[in-house]
Amino acid sequence: MGIDFGVILAYGIGLILLYLIGMLLVIPIKMIIRLVINGVLGGILLLIVNLIGGFIGINITINPLTAILTGFLGIPGVILLIILQYIL
């Protein structure tokens, strides 16, 4: 009826593995949520640019690619899209 260190060690290793697996599952979910939020914010920024830019002839099509690009890069992404629109 002594202390079985093998069982205690197994529980400890199991808890560490459970923590590591949990972290591996949480990190991708955080990245996906951040991508969705940035895409929505990018779409809103594009909408504002289209509303203001309509007076001077700037119009950027809002689609998932432009929204995500703007979400990742922010204002430089909008400037990049405007430049690409006039180059292509």
Total domains in the fold of the chain: 1
- pLDDT tens for each residue of 11-59: 888 888 888 888 888 878 878 788 788 878 888 888 888 899 888 888 8
Kindly tell me the number of DSSP H helices and DSSP E strands found in the chain: 3, 0
| pLDDT of 75 higher than 80 | yes
pTM over 0.85: no
| pLDDT of 88 higher than 60 | yes
What is the residue range of 14's domain?
5-87
Q: How many CB atoms lie within 10 A of CB 46?
A: 23
| pLDDT of 5 higher than 80 | no
